A and B are shown apart, each in its own frame.
Chain A
Amino acid sequence: MIERFDPLKGERLHVLDEGGRSAPDLDPGLDDASLRALYERMVRTRAADAKALKLQRQGRFGTYAPSLGHEAAQVGLASAMTKDDWFFPYFRDLGAYLTLGYPLADYYHFWMGNEAGLRTPDGLNIFPVAIPVASQIPQAAGAALALKLRKLGGAVVVTFGDGGTSEGDFHEGLNFAGVFRTPNVFVCVNNQFAISVPRSRQSASATLAQKAVAYGFPGVQVDGNDVLAVFAAVREALATARSGGGPTLIEAFTYRLGDHTTADDASRYRAKEEVQEWERRDPLLRFRLHLEHKGLWSEAFEKELQAAAAAFVDQAVAEAEARPAATPEDVFASTYATMPPDLAAQLAALKESLPEGRR
């Protein structure tokens, strides 16, 4: 399917049209329960994201990068993954985290300002978020090479934004993957902005997907607001990767409906009308329409999902906020495998200087 959409000709994969009707020849053919699960994950992601913003405004959260508008891309890509696959995220991947089973309380804990939340639970192959832009891409290529050399069978999915494609590490990572034919799926979530700088200032390429051509493997642009399109493309790319067919670059074409982070004010650099236009293309709305067409959505179902999402989110907030503050030992102990005597002395000196309750 991927090869049917040539990024050099400006072709973009859609499964759903704006009214939520699916193209029969492209529909990934998920059963009813799986379709509803996709929607539930998107609803949950949006609820968790909205809560994070609220907590930030109340001073209970650190600076936060919201996911509003990215739900289809995030949930779609992660829903195509299996437990043998690895995920190397960037920093705006809430829906992927939740879909892969990362505890929301841990995710919140990190964004509240404690790196203990970045400790991926055992059994999940999720690398910690990458804040230095694109630096995760060569790492994902290396991890995929390890899976290939060790014949472990999985593949590695890595995400980054449109701005990430301008970094040297994008080139070095994709080039490495092409040379070694690693089992990678590179997902560029093109949300049109790198903070304030528009997509047109990142590259003169007509699409970002077409950059794959230069690395010697397929690239495809998909509608990033169409969860079925993202799911179908990533599923196919993962199957190719796992069977030794090498990497794929997928550009999920979407729009950042929120600010870059809570420290940003997007109204400084883009028109309200443009944002409103994209709000009409809300990925949740489009998929809800699809479920309606299939008789899988009702007001009651929606209410049930919203209530469950709210409870899920509240529980995670309570759990994250109930966690004790990091101790001096916590922030020292994982610097090296074993603590050098000098660092132990620094720890002891720090504790001595702290008030009784903070030691």
Chain B
Amino acid sequence: MIMTMVQAINQALAGEMTRDDRVLILGEDVGRDGGVFRVTDGLFDKFGPDRVMDTPLAESGIVGASIGLAVAGLRPVAEIQFMGFIYPAFNQIVSHLARLRNRTRGRFTAPVVIRTPYGAGVKALEHHSESTEGLFCQIPGLTVVVPSNPHDAKGLLIAAIRGQDPVLFLEPTKLYRSDKMEVPEEPYEVPLRQAAVVREGRDATIVAWGAMIPVAREAAAAAESQGTSVEIVDLRTLSPMDRETVLLSVRKTGRALVLHEAPKTGGLGAEIAATIAESALLSLSAPVIRVTAPDITVPLPKSEDLYYPSADRVLRAVRKLMEY
């Protein structure tokens, strides 16, 4: 069936809740309203108020309660309405969720999935365009996942719900409805911790994820018409990272560009560039280039073009790589 990412995520949730009655959804407006992006549309009617729970407006409470729910045998999928509002729950994520398995040497685990929309590009209010995945990739024990298309969104979310580790599942707001594709009706898993080569190429590698994948594709198509063959690696799981797929591609193409919409300094792009420097330096024909947002606060929508990496910026960087 042809569907959007919103529909694919909804289908993943419905399927997992049907398969496993321990799975439940909690968050703000996820019930009768179906979520502010309608991701949980219809689930309240289908599964009832004990499985799709509207909670008080309290992000730390949502994640904290999810830890307790998981420890006592359930499989909570918590929704944080926007990534910009996740910070009240940061303590629960850092101090408990991610480290519970380790601090009890496996006696207690918290297989909680936190879903949250992230990123710019939908003309939203202040605090609704954050892309701070880098903060969460510094937390051992936490798996950070970002799908870039409806097919992966469904399969990755199912894998996250079935997994044994806590997962932060970042949904690119910009891609919720912008793109439709064929998605199988039946449940399937797209494995976590595995990047995907989503476009093959010979001359340069772009490493990206989430809403930057369409930007990378647009740049790659333009480069192709200018005679440069670009490969795109969609990281999909940001942490723990599939470094092998990145290195394999870079060793083949000899040129690497890391693309993210988060600010530059201390971003995940730095980690990827360092990985390439550590393990593939001698394959490189040019220094690694990062194309990222600048180190500024996300501007309001009228100035988003000054922030968001564009296909044109990526294309210029690809040319720079080729001309080095």
In the complex, identify which listed stretch (A21-29, A41-49, A167-175, A253-261) lies at the interface while the others stay far away. Answer: A167-175
Q: How distant is the Cα of A303 from the Cα of B97 in the complex, in angstroms?
A: 46
The smallest beta-carbon distance between B272 and chain A, in angstroms, is 12
List the A residue with the shortest CB-CB distance to B98: A335
Contact in complex: A343, B240 (CB < 8 Å): yes
In the complex, A37 has a CB within 8 A of chain B: no
Given the known inter-chain contacts A138-B68, A335-B141, please indicate yes or no for A119 contacting B193, CB distance below 8 A.
no
Chain A residues with Cβ below 8 Å from B61 are 138, 141, 169, 172-173, 175-176
Q: How distant is the Cα of A118 from the Cα of B55 in the complex, in angstroms?
A: 31
Chain B residues with Cβ below 8 Å from A127 are 71, 108
Chain A residues with Cβ below 8 Å from B69 are 142-143, 145-146
Q: How distant is the Cα of A337 from the Cα of B106 in the complex, in angstroms?
A: 8
Contact in complex: A172, B56 (CB < 8 Å): yes
- Chain B interface residue count, CB cutoff 8 Å, equals 47
Given the known inter-chain contacts A115-B102, A172-B60, A342-B243, please indicate yes or no for A143 contacting B109, CB distance below 8 A.
no
Contact in complex: A176, B58 (CB < 8 Å): yes
Chain B residues with Cβ below 8 Å from A139 are 64-65, 67-68, 71, 92, 96
B residues sitting closer than 8 Å to A (CB atoms) are 24, 50, 53, 55-56, 58, 60-61, 63-74, 76, 88, 91-92, 95-96, 100-109, 140-141, 143, 163-165, 193, 240-241, 243-244
The 0/1 profile, CB within 8 Å of B marked 1, for residues 209-235 of chain A is 000000000000000000000000000
A78-120 contacts to B (CB < 8 Å)? 86, 88, 115-116, 118-120
Chain B residues with Cβ below 8 Å from A86 are 72
Does more than half of chain A's interface fall in helix, strand or loop, or is it mixed?
helix
Q: How distant is the Cα of A152 from the Cα of B71 in the complex, in angstroms?
A: 14
Chain A residues with Cβ below 8 Å from B88 are 168
Contact in complex: B58, A175 (CB < 8 Å): yes
In the complex, A179 has a CB within 8 A of chain B: yes
- Chain A interface residue count, CB cutoff 8 Å, equals 49
Q: How distant is the Cα of A264 from the Cα of B103 in the complex, in angstroms?
A: 25
Cross-chain contact of B64 among A120, A128, A141, A144 (Cβ < 8 A): A141
A-B contact pairs, 30 of them (CB 8 A): A115-B102, A115-B103, A115-B104, A118-B103, A119-B104, A120-B104, A120-B108, A127-B108, A132-B91, A138-B60, A138-B63, A139-B65, A139-B67, A141-B61, A141-B65, A142-B67, A143-B69, A143-B71, A146-B68, A146-B71, A146-B72, A146-B73, A146-B74, A150-B72, A156-B68, A172-B61, A175-B61, A334-B104, A337-B165, A342-B243
